[in-house]
Each structure stands twice: as structure tokens, then as C-alpha cells.
């Protein structure tokens, strides 16, 4: 069966290090264990990805292609993202460069329901480049946006989309906006004989987006826009199963989200959105966070911020039993130490090694 | 009313450029128009964020804090992400450094339902640092994972979580896995008198995660784990409204997703997940993509990849009417040109400027 292939760029200097980094990447993205601890033959044969190539990258460093056995994806849209760039997205020396989805995965995901041909049909534009513009700025009332929509429609634009910052604002509610803008393009169509597609921006939680989608379809809009990285890529895929058939315009907002400081994303935002405990790589492990960043992240998770309850910091990522007391000293008692690979290292002595870990934490936590 | 404040780090050299960049950032994140085109007094007073400070960053460059009027958030979880780092996440000279959610937003989001105290209560660990480990590797069958869970529980670990790579795999289905692991910690509790919390990993589309959550709760698990960046932060918030009350452990997988080449994320993945048309910044505008990247992205969206329909490339981002024919030459006819601000520049001549754009594209598209 066809594998899932992904190409990564590695910031390493020599071929030996590159090969080793590529192997490590494959382990990180699947078993999260050193190869030496893997004993199950099925795991070795069917789970760990094959390093298909490691070669110098014309732009510097090395490039590697990994082949993940298809079964590791579970044909699941969220697990696919995780396999491609889950933990490794937190490591600074690697870039996900390209993705090759085998046919079975493409079938599972489904892809565009309209595609270029369907979009052209919806827009009544069988050939030639299409034109599109945006209704803006945020802050205008539905009538003012509708007037703009009418102007653009009369000028012959094919698709007139909301700015992606237009949400269900108190000063411009989604429903009156969509109704007014759609009416404006329909009115213009009576004058010009050619109908522009009005494309409302849908945003919010999955149920909100689904509700907006149905409303927009009932109003007769020609397509919808979402920002998949805001609503979640798996959410988009699920919406397409049940939502009324309309072409989807995808907006790239938030697609550069790495460049958010860890305390802001994993600390403030994860907590505000409802996490009771947040796992993050502790300094000195196999990820790149500094001690200062870890300390700030923990403090952001725990500091008073009513009505938000404090959330538990969960330092993880390549910690060892030996470091337990240092980590407890660093975070204090309101923390949960997450340790994995270093326990599995113990092989048959797993119970004893784990007991040592529990005892080390307990002793460190009760030290004066 | 309290504003939403965000601090950004700017890669600029001098105070004048920094102030200008900060103003530009505030416009990009809200109105997506140059200030000169803003005429509506409500927009100027209530939408455009105030640049509260611009100061040298001890780590180089400058740091600025913007205050967004609360109403711009619509108190919506997806729109909040967009305001904080929507378009600007695609610009290379800016990092979202910190976020200060006013009380009204914290109330709207809700935050942790258990928090540290609730998690401690669930774990029966009222004080001291907690311990946690992970069930791995992916590839083991439910019984093997359950055996590990039992060993960890007997060793006294507080929380035993699934590896975040454990999905609903054909070789290890979610339901038997959760049943077996929960039974194992319960059996160990009979021996030791102390119950470890088994924490299954939930992953998939929103409805899948909701179903897994209910199943896990019915099995009696003590907490659940999700990766908010895989399932979508707004999805997490919505799940917390209706899902059975269990503490949530958040995993950071995919939180570094910027370092994915644009053709892979916006091209292959957005298409595979169902976008019919994908908006992206065309080279030479106010974003950082090169012509080579744009060309590759367009080709990835359109190339044969059965059964996926081809998706329409939508170059955008600071294009002008004058560039229309160059852009059409670059992408060919299967493209949609998205132009916004440069039309709004025309003020009262919006209709005429838009007509010029439509005509320029039409002429370029029919050139031999």
C-alpha cells in the first residue's frame, strides 16, 4: 500500500548527522521512543517510517524524505497533521518542506467538492482568469458593505468576498450583513444581466460555522470563505460532509502561527480556551525552549486571571528520572512531571524505574 | 471597556520605522486598508487599534503593544485568533510576543473547567508535584498498552496518558484501547489502594472527538488529552460546553506550524482538506512569498491528484490594478485575482477603478 511521504529540511552540517537526524525525526513523529527501546516486531516493521533519502539541500543543510506506513495515519485528518509535523514543529532545526498524500488518504479527506471547474460554473465564468475583491473595512454596517458589494458587482467582479476580519460583530451582525450583501449583488445582476458571487466569511466554533453556512446558503450566496487555520483543518473537512454544497474559498490567516511566543500560545491562549493542564518541552530536553521561557510559561498558566482557573504546567520532553528533583525545584509543587522515553529505557525494569521516578518527585516535593 | 492588548516584536532598526510598522500592523489586523482610505468615523474611533507603546526590545529590534477595541473580537474564539495574528502571521518581520485578554474575553472563553485544584481532586493528590507518563509506542495492541498502564499505576504514577500519536488506528482501535487501559488502572487500584488517572488521547474531527470523549467518560477515565492545534482551538472551546466534565490535558503538537513550506500547507493540505480556492499572498506585495514559491503553490493546487479536484489559486495581498496583466501572465487563466486596498484607494471613483481592474484582467486573459 502506498505510504505517506513527507520531505523535511534539516539544519545540519554533514551527511552523517543528517542521516541520524532523519532517523530521529521519524521516531519522534511516530513512536516517540529511541530505537533501542523498540522490541515489538510489528512496531519496527509497520510503524517507524523509512528514511527514503537524505541529500544535500541546494539551499543549505540537508533534505530528507520519510515514508510513513499508511496505517499510522488511521486515515484521520487530525492524526495526519500530527504525523506530518506534531512534535517536530516545536524543534527549531526542521522545516516540513513537502507532503505527498497517497491516494487512499486523498480519498479519505475528499478534497474540494467543486474545484476549479465547479467554481467556474458557480461564477458563470467558464474560461479566463477570474476577479475577486473584498468588502471592508471592519466597522462598516451591513448597508454600507452592501453598497460596496453592489458597486463591485456592477463593475463586473466575479467574486466579492467579505474581508476575513468580518465576524458576527455587534456593530455588523452576520445575518443582516449576508442578507444585505446578497441582495445587493442580486439587484446589480438585474441591471447588468450577470451575477457576481457574494462570498461571506464564516468564522467561529464548528457549530457556529455550520449554522452560518446554512444561513448563507438559504440566502442564496454563491460560495463561502473560511480560514482553515482559524477554525481547524479537521473542522473544515467535517463541515464539508454535511454543509450545503457551496464552493469554499480558503483564507491563509494564522497559517504562520509558529511565530507566537510559547507563553502566549501555550500559556495564555491554551488556558483561556479551556486546557486544565498544558504539556510543554522543559528546557534542556530535545526541544528548544529556554529555562526563562519555561518559567514564564508556567507562571502564565498559574497566575491569577479571573474568572479563569489556573492551569497545571506539565513539563515534558526528554526528561530523565535523574532530573526530577531539579525540575521540581524549578516549577514548585503546582506542576506535573511528564516522563516517557527515559522510563521505557529500563526495559524489563520498568516498574522499578517508574517507582524511582515517583519517589524522586515525592521526595523533591516534600523537601524543605 | 477593557481592550484586548497584544505585544509584538518587530524586526526593524529605528524608532521611526518601528512606529510606522506598529501602525501598519494594527491596520493589517483589523481594517486591512491604508489609513488614508478610512473615512468612516466609527471605524477610525472604534476599530483601528491604538498603538500604546513602541520601545526598543532588549533582544533587538522593537516591541509594540496594540490595544484592540473589545468589540473587534466579537467575543468569538476564531475571530480572536485572527485579530491577534491573522494576516501578520504571514509576515516575516513580526512575532506575536504576548497577549492580554480582558476580563470580558476571559469570561466568553471560559478557560479551564477544573484547573489545578480540580485536576488535583480528580487525581487524589491535594498537594505536591504530580507525576505523569505516556503509553507508547504507537503500534502496540490495546492489551500491551493496558499492561504498561497497569505497571505504571502500580508504580504510583498520578496520570497515565496515551501518547498523542495514538489515534483510532486499525491495529489499535480507540474503544478497546480505552476500555483495556482503564480496566488496568482500576485493577491496579484494587491492589495498591490508590487510583491512577488514565488519560486517553482524543483526536479527529469535532464530532469524532466529541464521540470519543463521551465513550471515555462512560468508561470512567479520569481526564482526557487533546492537541488544541490539531483539532483547532475554537473546537476545544466548543467541546467544553457539551462534553462530560473531565479535566483536559493539552498537548503542544503542531504548535510550531509556521515552519511548513507554503506549497505544502496552503497547497497540498488546504486542497486535500476541501478548499475549492486558496487565497495566498502574491510575490512582491506586503508579504514574504517569493515568485518561485507562488508558482509552486499554484501548480500544487492545480496539478492532477485524483480523486482530488483541482483547486483555484487566488493570488492576493497588496496587488494593484496596474499589476493585473503581469499576474495573469504569471498564473495563466486558471487563477482568480484578488485585489482590495488598491481599489479602495480610488475613493469615490471605486466603480471606475474596479471596472479598470476587471477589464485589465479580461484583456490579459485573452491576450495571445
Buried b (16+ CB within 10 A) or exposed e, B104-143: ebbebbbbbbbbbebbbebbebeebbbbbbbbbbbbbbbe
How far from chain centre, in Å, is Cα B94? 17
DSSP string, A151-175: HHHHTT-SEEEE-TT--SBTTB-HH
Q: What is the residue whose three cell numbers read 485524483?
A: B306
Angle at alpha carbon of residue A74, lines to A203 and A45, rounded to 5°:
145
Residue closest to A231 by CA, chosen among B275, B326, B216: B275
Contact A354 B258 (CB under 8 A): no
b (16+ CB within 10 A) / e for B33-43: beeebbeeeeb
Residues of A in contact with B249 (CB under 8 A): 275-279, 314
CA distance A16 to chain B (A): 24
CB of A196 within 8 A of CB of A221?
A: no
Q: Which residues from chain B sit within 8 angstroms of residue A116, using beta carbons?
A: 276, 302, 309-312, 334
Enter the C-alpha cell of residue B362: 479580461
Among A39-43, A98-102, B161-165, whose mean pLDDT is lowest? Answer: A98-102
pLDDT of residue A264 exceeding 70, the answer is no
Q: What is the pLDDT of residue A56?
A: 95
User: Do B131 and A361 count as a contact with CB atoms less than 8 A apart?
Assistant: yes
Task: Note whether B196 and B152 are within 8 A (CB).
Answer: yes
Cα nearest neighbour of A69 on chain B? B139
Return d(Cα B292, Cα B287) in angstroms, integer.
14
Distance, CA of A249 to chain centre: 18
- List the Cα angle B98/A303/A359 in 5-degree steps: 115
Residue scoring higher pLDDT (B323 or A130): B323
Calpha distance B161→A353 (Å, rounded): 18
Q: How far apart are CA B6 and CA A364, in angstroms?
A: 37
Q: DSSP H helical segments within B113-205, as ranges?
A: 115-123, 142-154, 174-192
B166 vs B118: which has the higher pLDDT? B166
pTM summary value: 0.83
Question: If you measure CA to CA, which chain B residue comes closest to A47?
Answer: B139
A50: which strand partners?
A67
Does the beta-carbon distance from A148 to B248 stay under 8 Å?
no
Are A205 and B29 in contact (CB < 8 Å)?
Answer: no
Note the pLDDT of residue A292: 85
CB contact under 8 A, A130 and B232: no
pLDDT over 80 (residue B181): yes
CA dist A27 and A86 (Å) reads 12
The angle subtended at Cα A169 by Cα A163 and Cα A170, nearest 5°, is 150
Q: CA-to-CA distance for B296 and B294, rounded, in angstroms?
A: 5
pLDDT digits (tens, 9 = 90+) for B289-342: 788 888 988 988 888 877 777 777 878 776 777 888 888 888 888 887 777 767
> Of A165-169, A225-229, B247-251, B254-258, which range is least confident?
B254-258
To the nearest whole angstrom, how far is the Cα of B291 from the nearest Cα of chain A? 16
With cut-offs at 50, 70 and 90, classify the pLDDT of residue A30: very high
Q: Which residues of chain B does A335 touch, with a Cβ-Cβ cutoff of 8 Å?
A: 129-130
Task: Return the bridge partners of B278, or none.
Answer: A250, B313
HEC secondary structure over A194-249: CCCEEECECCCCHHHHHHHHHHHHHHCCCCEEECHHHHCHHHHHHHHHHCCCCCEE
Query: Are residues B65 and B5 in contact, defined by beta-carbon separation less than 8 angstroms?
Result: yes
* Bond preceding residue A137 cis, omega within 30 of 0: yes
Looking at mean pLDDT, say which of A249-258, B42-51, B269-278 comes out highest: B42-51
Q: Do residue B362 and residue A277 have CB atoms under 8 angstroms apart?
A: no
Whole-number Å distance between alpha carbons of B176 and A334: 33
Whether B234 sits inside 8 A of A155 (CB atoms) is no
Q: Average pLDDT, stretch A85-107?
A: 81
Segment A345-367 mean pLDDT = 80
CB contacts, 8 Å: A117 with chain B? 309-310
Instruction: Report the Cα A144 to chain-centroid distance in Å.
Output: 35
Average pLDDT over residues B19-23: 94
Longest Cα separation, chain A: 82
Beta pairing partners, A224: A248
The residue of chain A with its CA nearest to that of B288 is: A256
d(CA B32, CA B19): 18
Mean per-residue pLDDT over chain A, rounded: 85
Angle at B185 between CA B183 and CA B191, to 5 degrees: 110
pLDDT digits (tens, 9 = 90+) for B63-109: 999 999 999 999 998 998 899 888 787 777 888 887 788 888 888 88
Contact A57, A64 (CB under 8 A): no
Contacts of A339 in chain B (CB under 8 A): 131-133
Quote the cell numbers at residue A252. 491563509
Grid coordinates representing A102 are: 497517497
Q: Count Cα atoms within 13 angstroms, Cβ side, for A253.
A: 29
- pLDDT for residue A256: 61
pLDDT over 90 for what percent of chain B?
Answer: 32
Name chain A contacts of B338, Cβ cutoff 8 Å.
132-134, 161
Q: Which residues contact B205 (CB under 8 A, 6 or more apart)?
A: A77, A78, A234, A235, A237, A238, B231
If you count residue pairs, one on A and one on B, with CB atoms under 8 Å apart, how many are there?
651
Q: Do B276 and A112 touch (CB under 8 A)?
A: yes
- C-alpha A120/C-alpha B309 separation (Å) is 13
* Dist. CA B239–CA A30, nearest whole Å: 27
For residue A239 the three cell numbers come to 463541515
Strands A62-68 and A4-10: antiparallel
B345-348 own/partner pairs: CB under 8 Å, 24+ apart: B345/B34, B345/B36, B345/B37, B347/B37, B347/B39
Instruction: Using an 8 Å CB-CB cutoff, list chain A residues near B87.
Output: 252-253
What's the CA gap between B154 and A333, in Å, rounded? 22
Closest CA–CA distance from residue A62 to any residue of chain B (Å): 15
Greater pLDDT, A162 or B97: A162
pLDDT at A97: 80
For the CA atoms of A241, A243, A248, A251, what is the dihedral angle to 10 degrees? -90
Q: How far apart are CA A235 and CA A244, in angstroms?
A: 15
pLDDT grade for A115, boundaries at 50, 70 and 90: confident
Interchain CB distance below 8 Å, B38 and A137: yes
* Biggest distance spanned by C-alpha atoms of chain B: 82
Angle of CA points B318, B319, B324, to nearest 5°: 180
Given A82, A139, A148, which is nearest B165 (Cβ)?
A: A82
CB-nearest to B112 from A111, A271, A331 is: A271
- In chain B, residues with a C-beta closer than 8 Å to the C-beta of A271 are 111-112
CA distances from B66 to A264, B114, B194 (A): 15, 32, 50
Q: What mean pLDDT comes out for the span A293-297?
A: 86
Angle at Cα B277 formed by Cα B75 and Cα A70, nearest 5°?
Answer: 95
Would you say the ipTM is above 0.95? no
Burial of B242 per CB tally in 10 Å (0-12, 13-18, 19+): exposed
The answer to whether A302 contacts B116, with C-beta atoms less than 8 Å apart, is yes
Chain A nearest-CA distance from B4, in A, is 13
B304: its cell numbers: 492532477
User: Over the range A70-109, which residues count as b (16 or more CB within 10 Å of their CB) and which as e?
Assistant: bbbbbbbbbbbbbbbbbbbbbbeebbbbbbbbbeebbebb
Residue numbers in B near A361 (CB within 8 A): 128-131
Per-residue confidence (pLDDT) for residue A207, from 0 to 100: 95
In tens, the pLDDT along A140-157 reads 999 999 998 998 888 888
Q: Which residues of A touch B352 (CB under 8 A)?
A: 155
Q: Do B366 and A128 meet the contact criterion of CB atoms below 8 Å apart?
A: yes
For residue B271, what pLDDT is reported? 66
> Which of A227-231, B42-46, B274-278 holds the top average pLDDT?
B42-46
Mutate to test the interface with A, among B153, B177, B255 (most CBs of A within 10 A): B255
pLDDT class of A221 with cuts at 50, 70, 90: very high
Residue B190 has pLDDT above 60, yes or no: yes
Residue B164: CB atoms within 10 A of its CB come to 27
**Distance, CA of A11 to CA of A3 (rounded, Å):** 25
The residues near A348 (Cβ < 8 Å, ≥ 6 apart) are none
Q: Does position A116 have pLDDT exceeding 70, yes or no?
A: yes
Report the distance separating Cα A63 and Cα A208, nearest Å. 41
Please state the φ and ψ torsions of residue A338, each to the nearest 5 degrees: -110, 120
- A98 contacts B129? CB cut-off 8 A: no
pLDDT in the model for residue B331: 86
Residues B166, B320: Cα–Cα separation, whole Å: 48
Cβ of B71 within 8 Å of Cβ of A170? The answer is yes
Res B52 pLDDT > 90: yes
Amino acid at each position: 500500500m502506498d505510504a505517506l511521504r513527507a520531505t523535511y529540511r534539516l539544519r545540519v552540517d554533514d551527511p552523517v548527522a543528517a542521516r541520524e537526524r532523519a532517523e530521529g525525526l521519524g521516531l519522534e513523529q511516530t513512536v516517540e521512543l529511541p530505537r533501542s527501546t523498540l522490541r515489538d516486531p510489528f512496531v519496527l516493521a509497520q510503524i517507524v517510517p523509512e528514511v527514503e533519502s537524505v541529500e544535500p539541500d541546494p539551499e543549505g543543510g540537508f533534505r530528507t524524505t520519510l515514508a510513513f506506513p499508511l496505517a499510522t495515519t488511521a486515515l484521520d485528518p487530525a492524526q495526519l497533521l500530527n504525523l506530518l509535523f506534531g512534535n517536530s514543529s516545536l524543534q527549531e532545526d526542521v522545516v516540513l518542506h513537502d507532503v505527498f498524500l497517497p491516494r487512499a488518504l486523498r480519498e479519505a479527506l475528499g478534497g474540494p467538492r467543486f474545484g476549479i471547474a465547479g467554481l467556474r460554473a458557480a461564477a458563470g465564468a467558464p474560461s479566463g482568469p477570474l476577479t475577486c475583491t473584498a468588502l471592508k473595512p471592519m466597522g462598516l454596517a451591513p448597508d454600507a458593505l452592501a453598497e460596496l458589494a453592489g458597486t463591485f458587482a456592477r463593475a463586473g467582479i466575479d467574486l466579492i468576498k467579505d474581508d476575513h476580519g468580518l465576524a458576527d460583530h455587534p456593530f455588523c451582525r452576520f445575518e443582516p450583513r449576508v442578507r444585505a450583501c446578497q441582495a445587493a449583488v442580486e439587484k446589480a445582476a438585474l441591471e447588468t444581466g450577470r451575477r457576481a458571487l457574494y462570498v461571506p466569511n464564516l468564522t467561529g466554533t464548528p457549530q457556529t460555522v455550520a449554522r452560518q453556512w446554512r444561513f448563507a446558503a438559504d440566502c442564496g450566496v454563491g460560495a463561502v470563505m473560511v480560514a482553515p487555520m482559524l477554525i481547524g483543518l479537521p473542522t473544515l473537512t467535517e463541515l464539508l460532509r454535511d454543509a450545503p454544497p457551496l464552493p469554499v474559498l480558503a483564507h491563509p490567516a494564522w497559517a504562520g502561527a509558529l511565530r507566537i511566543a510559547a507563553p502566549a500560545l501555550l500559556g495564555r491562549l491554551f488556558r483561556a480556551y479551556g486546557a486544565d493542564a498544558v504539556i510543554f518541552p522543559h528546557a534542556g530536553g530535545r526541544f528548544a525552549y529556554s529555562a526563562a521561557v519555561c518559567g514564564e510559561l508556567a507562571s502564565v498558566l498559574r497566575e491569577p486571571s479571573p474568572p479563569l482557573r489556573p492551569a497545571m504546567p506539565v513539563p515534558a520532553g526528554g526528561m530523565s528520572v535523574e532530573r526530577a528533583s531539579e525540575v521540581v525545584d524549578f516549577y514548585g509543587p503546582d506542576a506535573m512531571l511528564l516522563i516517557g522515553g527515559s522510563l521505557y529505557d529500563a526495559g524489563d525494569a520498568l516498574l522499578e524505574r517508574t517507582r524511582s521516578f515517583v519517589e524522586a518527585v515525592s521526595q523533591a516535593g516534600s523537601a524543605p
